[in-house]
Amino acid sequence: MKFTAIRENHLYQKAYHKGTRFVGKTVAVFVLRDHAAKRLMLAHPQKKYHNRIGLAVTKKTGGAVARNRAKRIIRAGWQAIEREGNIRTGYLVVLSARPGITGVKSQDVERELRYALAKLNMLRPADEGKTL
């Protein structure tokens, strides 16, 4: 599933300065409540809230090949967690690669993202949202 990307620099800056963060060995995660979430939900064809995701990889990570690989494995980790459907929606989420991401597998990044989202209270409990 393709996610909605953050394209404006001011939204990255808001997430960095006002959002809550978790910094791990391979990935730093910044989360901020999206004030435009209701407007975007009404414009969405399925009328659902969704997260806007931003990826940030600096040149400290390495050359172009290393940066693209880092983005690819971060996306894969995020999509694996998102497929389960237990991530809270209506947030700006910035996933920033740390220099330690070179040479790690996507399963390691997924595990760290899962831990970061749990620490940031972004994962729903298993019974939330289910109707009887």
Does residue 127 carry a pLDDT above 80? Answer: no
pTM score, whole prediction: 0.88
In which residue are the tokens 């995701």 written? 53
How would you class 15 by CB atoms within 10 Å of its CB: exposed for 0-12, middle for 13-18, buried for 19 or more? Answer: buried
- Encode pLDDT of 51-71 as tens digits: 999 999 999 999 999 999 999
Buried residues in 36-65 as b, exposed as e (16+ CB within 10 A): ebeeebeeeeeeeebbbbbbbbeeebbeee
The candidate with the shortest Cα–Cα distance to 126, out of 80, 85, 78, 83, is 85
pLDDT tens profile 70-125:
999 999 999 999 998 889 999 999 999 999 899 899 999 999 999 999 999 999 87
Residue length of the chain: 132
